[in-house]
Structure 1
Amino acid sequence: MSKKTFPFADFTLVLLFFLGLGAIGYLFPREAFYFNLLAFILCFGTYLLLYRKVKNNLFTFRNAIIMATIARLLLLFALPSLSDDFYRFLFDGHLLIKGINPYAQLPLAWVQAQGLDSSSYLYYLFEGMNSPGYFSVYPPLHQVFFGLAALSGESLLPNLLVLRSMLIAFDLLNIWLIVKLLQLWHQPKRRVLLYALNPLVILELTGNLHFEGMVLTGLLAVLYCFERGKTYQASAAWAWAVGIKLTPLMMGPILLRKAFKSGSSISFFAWSALFLFLALGLLFLGEIYLNFWQSLRLYSSSFEFNASIYYLIRWVSGFFMDYNPIVYVGPFLTVLAALLILALSFLFRLENAKDLAAGMVWIYLVYLLLQTVVHPWYLIPAFGMSVLTGNRVFLVWTGLVFLSYGAYQSSETMEQTYLLITQYGLLFFTIFLEMKSVLASKKKLI
């Protein structure tokens, strides 16, 4: 196809993709699940078709990258429709610029103490929050971006625009880093389009304002720095990811082992300790870490959403007990995940940085399968790295996980068993096929 032409069929695919994104971002509320699902299926289907056209040289890589950028800008003015987390983000940010520590002040207590007239905007944010009775669980570096958004004033649209602009900038950086890594590993750069055009990525990062894209930035930078033999920078990149969300702490053992194989384990350990202290040290001023830990522990032992193995255990336990076992099963699965991650970290083959990426993807998979809560945006860091490795599990899961939004069809969250069975039945079948492919090709994970 000539680069100067843009056939009607291509125009139709692009238009359908944008219409689907726009419908979810601007038109349908979260409760309209089946309309949102149809729009998402439309987006995901056209996304796969466009990728295949690029692969067959029927659609240019340049046009696809432009399209990915426009898709993010399309949602610039949208009010997040699928998640209400942004209310807490902005509330924490406005507390920060008022000089109030979000780890030391419960939103509920602050509103009760200040009264409704102290700040009508903060009261508006408070009303939209889903966790007013919990201390903030977002690490200090994460809070910085909340504060930057709040500096634009007590008005929702400017706050959202600032926050969304920062998230888009980091997501475009992710695309650049994936391209650089693909080139270093002599892989076709078109693979970046599996990430760049993925509708779940666009909706959850740009649309719903989640920060897993910034986590991915740090993890991709870790891989890039290890590939270039830059231990110091790899330590800083890992600390960045942890400073946004604590989850990448689980990568510590495999990263340390990679550094050891590179002959730089002492340097990596020392620099990581310093950078992690800088990223998380504010939590240990006074006793605010106790509030932070309390909220994290309550989250892991009280909440359940879109789980797989945990729900299976809960179902089986229902034959023997008449209460929800999450208070015991949640911590048990956390310990089990930690043990399996340690085993993977020390047994996984690590001959180069590409092996490191593959190992990190498998670690994320083990972690997520053993969680009691799996929101759709949790998949994004692992998915971003998986496009570098050829592992298709997370690609399939990004298409299936949207089914979890079926729980929000009414005012009370109520998960649908048939949607869970569909999602995880197909996911575990994909995992089986991936493992079978690994064995058939005689690739060794360990």
Structure 2
Amino acid sequence: MIQRTVSYWKLHKIPMLMVLFSILFYMAFGYDLDRADFIKLLSLYSVLFFLCYKLIQFEKWNFKFLAISGTLFRLTLLFAEPNLSQDFYRFIWDGQLINNGINPYLHIPKDMIIGGGQIMNNAGELISGMGGLSASNYSNYPPLNQFIFALSTLLSGKSIVGSVLMMRTIIILSDLGILYFGRKLLQKLNKSTHLIFWYFLNPMVILELTGNLHFEGVMLFFFIWSIYLLFNKKWLLGAIVYALSISIKLVPLLFLPLFLKYFGIKKSILFYGVVGITSVLLVLPFYSPEFADNYIQTVGLWFSNFEFNAGLYNVIKKVAVNFDAKPWELIKDYGKITPIIVIALVALFTFVRDNKKISSLMTSMLWVLTFYYFLSATVHPWYIIFLVVLCLFTEFRFPIIWSFSIILSYWAYSNEGFKENYWLLSIEYIAVYGFMIYEILRLYNKKLLFHKN
């Protein structure tokens, strides 16, 4: 046994040291970082990304080693308070409202404090923690996400630390599910299974999901599980699971039209019907006459009021300002136009591309979501994680580059006014656009060469 351990150490000494250093850097990131310290944030993240790359390079065929490493990185952050996002306070607020028999879609937190005093013992702390923006709007988190909030707060005995721990555990388990089904799907598609570690070891994934409690990982677990079921011709169960994904985050709604060619018209109608019925059943516990208006109003704010780390929108804004356009009017007009363009793009990929195979279907999904984020006025770093997952099942890898360069957007948190640095954002998007164009040209030349031969 000792001899085997010594032998293993000799063979894997450098990767094991990399894992050790990664754990130390994750500890520094999770327990000793102020998000306003941009230089430290960027330095830690850059080193972690480099170590991720080298670990995959050295041990890409050693599934067990990389799986254990990624799990250890997540467990390192188990007791850390989220330090790059304050959204978790709103998660706990919504969960405690549900446990008190109150519908989170019908009440604005700030108004509840003013009108009704202390709804819960830690109401003041939660309101202060979530910030004025969140406290001034209705909840925009879909029903299944709300059930998770409620379960987490119920099991934690209304403790903020306990709620964080419960939600983090669910997110880690979801990541393990993505590792499992993602690897199996890559095998089915005859792709290298080590590609899944560009998700499982990616610092953006670990820090934003496990660290900062964003639920994209739970959504992606249901999404990848659903795609795996569809590949295995289990479309009925796949439709139910797909609806669960939508009920965590709404993003998979974008892809529903793309299934038209994959299933054909008759089966598509059945698939959409099952997704719709499952989604309605999840909404029913929260339904009231005001539900739809409040929810649409809140979701609409992301199109017409907020801006962060935008690509195309920043270029348009820069040009428009030179013509005396008012920024607060521009964002509202832009927010009205963007959904129309996105719908047109979805229609284009639905009817022009051949989506009859899972691989081509996921490539269409990748481009639809990519263009959506290119057009969006708000692109938070954790949004890109969906692109990272999708690209692993295609010929493209530019989202991995984006998952590194998007850290530059956190410059905004280093100053009191949350003012963005457009030079840094330019570097971020030039890196993404540049690598994306390179990949498109490489793939085009590859196909051209194949046809010539």
1:291 aligns with 2:286: no
Q: Please state whether the residue corresponding to 1:266 is helix, strand or coil.
A: helix
The farther-off stretch of 139-148 and 3-12 is 3-12
Summarize the Cα distance change of 1:412–1:3 in structure 2 as closer, same or farther, 3 Å threshold.
same
- Is 1:431 the counterpart of 2:452 in the alignment? no
Please tell me whether residue 122 in structure 1 is matched to residue 127 in structure 2. no
Cα offset for 1:276? 2.3
Paired amino acid for 2:107: Q
Please state if 1:32 is matched with 2:33.
Answer: no
User: Amino acid of the residue matched to residue 253 of structure 1?
Assistant: P
SS of the residue corresponding to residue 129 of structure 1 reads helix
* Distance (whole Å) between structure 2 residues aligned to residue 113 and residue 274 of structure 1: 37
Deviation at residue 379 of structure 1 after TM alignment: 1.1
State how 1:5-404 maps to structure 2 within 5 Å.
Answer: 5=10, 7-55=12-60, 60-116=62-118, 119-130=120-131, 131-151=134-154, 152-260=156-264, 264-282=267-285, 284-324=287-327, 325-404=330-409
The answer to whether the 8 Å contact 1:212/1:380 transfers is: yes
Structure 1 CA distance for aligned equivalents of residues 268 and 177 of structure 2: 28
The one-letter code matched in structure 2 to 1:232 is L
Post-superposition Cα deviations, 1:162-214, rounded to whole Å, max 9, x if no partner, equal 11111111111011011110111122211111111101000111000001111
Do the aligned partners of 1:23 and 1:36 also contact (CA within 8 Å) in 2? no
Q: 1:372 to 1:283 in 2, by over 3 A?
A: farther
Distance 1:349 1:314 in 2: 36
Count of residues paired in the alignment: 439
Give the equivalent residue in structure 1 for 2:451: none
Decide which moves more: 199-208 or 402-411. Answer: 402-411
The farther-off stretch of 394-403 and 284-293 is 284-293
Contact residue 201 and residue 380 of structure 1 kept, 8 A: yes
Q: Unaligned stretches of 5+ in structure 1? A: none
| Cα shift at 1:438 | 2.2
Identity over aligned residues, as a percent? 32
Instruction: Give the distance between the partners of 2:365 and 2:12, measured in 1 at CA.
Output: 40
In structure 1, C-alpha distance between the alignment counterparts of 2:19 and 2:28, rounded to whole Å? 14
What SS does structure 1 have at the residue aligned with 2:439?
helix
Letter in 2 for 1:229: K
Q: What displacement does 1:147 show?
A: 0.4
Mapped partners of 2:286, 2:164: distance in 1: 26
Paired residue type of 2:53: L
Give the structure with the larger helix fraction.
2
Shift of 1:363: 1.3
Q: CA deviation at 1:69?
A: 0.7
Kindly indicate whether the alpha-carbon contact (under 8 Å) linking 2:23 and 2:72 is maintained by their aligned counterparts in 1: no
Q: Secondary structure at the match of 1:78?
A: coil
Matching residue's letter, 2:139: S
Secondary structure of the equivalent of 1:108? helix
The root-mean-square deviation of aligned C-alpha atoms, in Å, is 1.9
Aligned-partner Cα distance in 1 for 2:444–2:175: 34
Task: Report the residue type matching 1:295 in the other structure.
Answer: T
CA distance, structure 2, for counterparts of residue 341 and residue 347 of structure 1: 10
Q: Which amino acid counterpart does residue 178 of structure 1 have in structure 2?
A: G
Distance in 1 of aligned mates of 2:272 and 2:421: 45
Q: 1:335 to 1:266 in 2, by over 3 A?
A: closer
**Cα distance change on mapping 1:161 and 1:217 into 2, 3 Å:** same
Cα pair 1:223 1:356 within 8 Å, conserved: no
**8 Å Cα contact 2:15/2:59 also seen in 1:** no
Give 1:54 shift.
Answer: 2.0
Q: In structure 1, what is the Cα distance between the partners aligned to 2:234 and 2:373?
A: 30
Distance (whole Å) between structure 1 residues aligned to residue 146 and residue 256 of structure 2: 23
Q: Could you tell me which runs of 5 or more consecutive residues in structure 2 were left unpaired when the two chains were aligned.
A: 1-5, 449-453
Amino acid at match of 1:189: T
Task: Check whether the contact 1:83–1:208 (CA below 8 A) recurs between aligned residues.
Answer: yes
Corresponding residue number in structure 1 for 2:3: none
**Contact 2:259-2:268 at 8 Å conserved across structures:** no
For the 8 Å contact 1:341–1:366, the answer to whether it is kept is no
Residues of 1 paired with 2:10 and 2:181: CA distance? 29
SS at match of 2:447: coil
Contact 1:231 1:267 in 2 (8 A): no
Alpha-carbon distance, 1:12 to partner: 2.6
Q: Aligned AA for 2:82? A: P
TM-score normalised by structure 2 residue count: 0.93
Shift of 1:74: 0.8
The Cα of 1:283 is off from its aligned counterpart by 5.5
How many Å separate the matches in 2 of 1:295 and 1:67?
Answer: 39
